[in-house]
């Protein structure tokens, strides 16, 4: 029951954050964003309490969510301290990259995925990393100064989706892994939109910002709720 309460509180907090946030961010928006992120972390922590089977999955997911919150904070600090934008942008990339490494590890551990299957799951991420750069010009994205880190991050992001999808199929559609896959896919879509607001031309507007955050928080809350369904 508590999981659903915190999920509801998270949705309310996210809506307040989206109402208050403008395209350039602010200190108040950062506080509300942090509060919304704390809600998806709390949802996962409470889920671990109610579902005490194999705690490795839950703990790795919580670690990934905490890193996501730190990435949230780091990325929004660039609006408050514009002179250090590169420092905060790189920091955000790294926090989220490590977060996706935790998500992927959680799925691999809980399903005891064979090494051959895991290696097959790496093919889409490699293709995504290459595609990020090949499609940059047609999509009018300028990754100058961030080509390597954006490709590397794109690969880790795609790896979470790829590994989760393979796990959902291998488990015969286990609820936890289906929810995890859906969350990872929404996260992927949110970062696709985010790349436009950060590196595109004229896309850092309210509609893009709102869409990005709706996809992002929906993804993170679904990833958190996958802990609740784990083993059920």
- Average pLDDT rounded to a whole number, residues 202-217: 81
* Non-local CB neighbours of 200 within 8 Å, separated by 6+ positions: 139, 140, 141, 142
**What is the band of 53 on the pLDDT scale with cuts at 50, 70, 90?**
low
pLDDT for 168 beyond 90: yes
pLDDT band at 43 (very low <50, low <70, confident <90, very high): very high
Hey, is 38 helix, strand or coil?
A: helix
Q: Is the Cβ–Cβ distance between 33 and 21 less than 8 Å?
A: yes
Give how far Cα 152 sits from Cα of 23, 28, 83, 89, 94, Å.
26, 31, 25, 14, 10
Distance of alpha carbon 156 from alpha carbon 68, whole angstroms: 13
Averaged pLDDT score across all residues of the chain: 86
Q: How far is CA 86 from CA 50, 140, 229, in A?
A: 41, 20, 39
Least confident residue range of 37-46, 61-70, 84-93: 84-93
- Let me know how many helices (H) and strands (E) the chain has, helices first: 9, 0
Residues in the chain: 232
As given in the structure block, the two tokens for residue 203 are 């896309």
Q: Report how far residue 228's alpha carbon sits from residue 44's, in angstroms, rounded to the nearest whole number.
A: 7
């Amino acid at each position: 029951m508590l999981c659903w309460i915190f999920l509801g509180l998270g949705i309310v907090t996210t809506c307040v954050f989206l109402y208050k946030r403008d395209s350039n961010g602010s200190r108040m928006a950062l506080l509300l964003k942090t509060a919304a992120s704390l809600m998806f972390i709390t949802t996962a922590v409470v889920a671990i309490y109610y579902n005490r089977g194999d705690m490795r999955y839950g703990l790795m997911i919580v670690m990934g969510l905490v890193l996501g919150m730190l990435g949230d904070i780091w990325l929004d600090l660039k609006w408050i301290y514009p002179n250090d934008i590169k420092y905060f942008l790189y920091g955000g990339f790294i926090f989220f990259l490590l977060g996706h490494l935790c998500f992927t590890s959680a799925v691999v551990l809980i399903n005891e995925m064979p090494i051959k299957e895991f290696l097959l799951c790496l093919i889409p991420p490699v293709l995504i990393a290459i595609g990020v750069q090949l499609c940059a010009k047609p999509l009018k994205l300028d990754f100058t100064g961030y080509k390597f880190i954006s490709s590397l991050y794109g690969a880790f992001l795609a790896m979470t989706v790829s590994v989760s999808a393979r796990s959902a199929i291998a488990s015969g559609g286990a609820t936890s892994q289906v929810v995890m896959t859906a969350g990872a896919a929404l996260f992927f879509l949110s970062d696709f939109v985010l790349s436009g607001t950060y590196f595109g031309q004229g896309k850092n507007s309210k509609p893009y910002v709102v869409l990005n955050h709706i996809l992002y928080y929906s993804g993170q809350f679904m990833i958190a709720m996958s802990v609740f369904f784990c083993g059920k």
